[in-house]
Amino acid sequence: MRVLGIETSCDETAVAIVEAPAASAPLGNPPGGKILANVVYSQMTEHRRFGGVVPEIAARAHLERLDGLVAEALAEAKLDLAELDGIAATGGPGLIGGVMVGVMTAKAMAFAHDKPFLAVNHLEGHALSVRLTEDVAFPYLLLLVSGGHCQLLTVRGPGDFARLGTTIDDAVGECFDKTAKLLGLGFPGGPAVERAAQGGDADRFQLPRPMWKKPGCDFSFSGLKTAVRQAVEKLSRDDEQAVADLCASFQRTVGDVLVDRCTNALAVAPNDTLVVAGGVAANAYLRGRLEKLGPRFVAPPVKLCTDNGAMIAWAGLERLRLGKTDSLDFRPRPRWPLDVESRT
Ligand code: KG4
Ligand code: ZN
């Protein structure tokens, strides 16, 4: 089975083609696929001077780039559209203009070539991505940490999630981005903070650890964001050591909170596998902290942590294998929770 996946929900225009056997045992096990093509156009330069993603600019850039990237992916995989078994696109959540560009393009290709169309929840793309490259069976505990989300879930199968906790205010990636912005480290913030933290003294700044040692699996990051801002106001951004120390202290605080929340999640929903996914999962320090928690720890390769087309193609393929296709009147969903019980 070969599925082409399109990702346009934020500032990355991405197209990939993945391949896997058509049949899978009950519960979708074992996993495993092959990436035949994976092309990404990062709009970083378009957005950098604004210090964040500008939705209108993002939508236009997706529109300008997407057709070319589809052609590039097909050429890389040495395939014709007719040789695909399905076309998947991120159907939300995300910036609506970009999601519309991806969904309309995928629908048009599916219609013209009489192929199944798959509307993939972006979060499901992150959630299942680990199964593309690693041998991870359902159910597993997932820490999903990205620019817009911070959640703990039990992943029971495609479209089958039980949410254990979520952030009550900001996402952790957003907190990394804000810290980088305050320190003038550039955009996107996560990799910049991680780089700056190297050689920093994590003991120098005592920052609050929101929700730490509290019951439950919810997160909160707004207090930490405020504390970082107050610390930045007291230091000189030219003081490289102070910047490194603050980044290291911040990163360790985030690590403490994530470890504490995952410990609670493992207590309420015991599991022998902990998976981390989403852009922040690219962070080597945080991976190292989570690795020590106890259960088998698995993370996608760093390249597949941040937004990419392969995770959308893979989630589409997992859905296609179960016959979970979508009709061409699917409407893009700017908000789309993973678990059916929640409304946020
Ligand atoms: O999953 P993603 O690419 O997009 C969303 O779905 O949001 O995540 C992007 C987020 C950004 O906030 C970025 O700063 C963060 O992931 N990020 C990192 C690292 N690489 C990306 N955060 C910490 N350390 C990193 N190495
Ligand atoms: Zn994402």
How does pLDDT run across 212-229, given as a tens digit for each residue? 999 999 999 999 999 999
Cβ contacts of 106 within 8 Å, gap of 6 or more = 4, 6, 87, 88, 89, 117, 118
Average pLDDT of 202-220?
96
How far is residue 292 CA from its own chain's centroid?
22
Q: What is the Cα–Cα distance from 188 to 276, expressed in whole angstroms? A: 20
DSSP code, position 159:
T
Residue 294 has a pLDDT of 87
Atom of ligand 1 nearest to the CA of 174: 12
Nearest to 1 by CA among 218, 318, 308, 311: 318
269 Cβ contact list (under 8 Å, min separation 6):
141, 154, 162, 164
Report the DSSP pairing between strands 117-121 and 86-92: parallel
Ligand 2 center–CA 306 separation, angstroms? 6
pLDDT beyond 90 at 204: yes
Q: What pLDDT does residue 262 have?
A: 98
pLDDT at residue 328, rounded to an integer: 98
In this predicted structure, the answer to whether residue 344 has a pLDDT above a threshold of 50 is: no
Q: What tokens does 94 get?
A: 């995300």
**Alpha carbon of 216 to ligand 1 centroid (Å):** 25
Answer yes or no: is pLDDT of 153 > 60: yes
- pLDDT value at residue 50: 85
Look at phi and psi of residue 159 and say left if phi exceeds 0, alpha if psi is from -120 to 50, else beta.
left
In terms of phi and psi (left: phi > 0; alpha: psi -120 to 50; beta: otherwise), the region of 323 is left
Ligand 2 centre to CA of 146 (Å) is: 6
pTM confidence score: 0.95
Q: Name the E strands within the chain.
A: 2-7, 12-19, 34-42, 86-92, 117-121, 140-145, 150-157, 160-166, 273-277, 296-298
C-alpha span between 127 and 280 (Å, rounded): 13
Please say if the pLDDT value at position 301 is more than 80. yes
**CA–CA separation, 269 and 257 (whole Å):** 18
Closest ligand 1 atom to residue 176 Cα is 14
Mean pLDDT, rounded, for 315-320: 96
Mean pLDDT for the chain?
94
Within 200-239, residue ranges assigned H as helices are 222-233
**CB neighbours of residue 320 within 10 Å:** 23
Compute, in angstroms, the gap from residue 118 CA to the centroid of ligand 1.
Answer: 25
From 120, 128, 150, 176, mutation site for ligand 1 pocket: most ligand atoms within 8 A of C-beta: 176
For ligand 1, residues with CB inside 6 Å are: 10, 146-148, 173, 176-177, 188-191, 194, 278-280, 282-283, 306-307
pLDDT digits (tens, 9 = 90+) for 67-103: 999 999 999 999 999 999 999 999 999 999 999 999 9
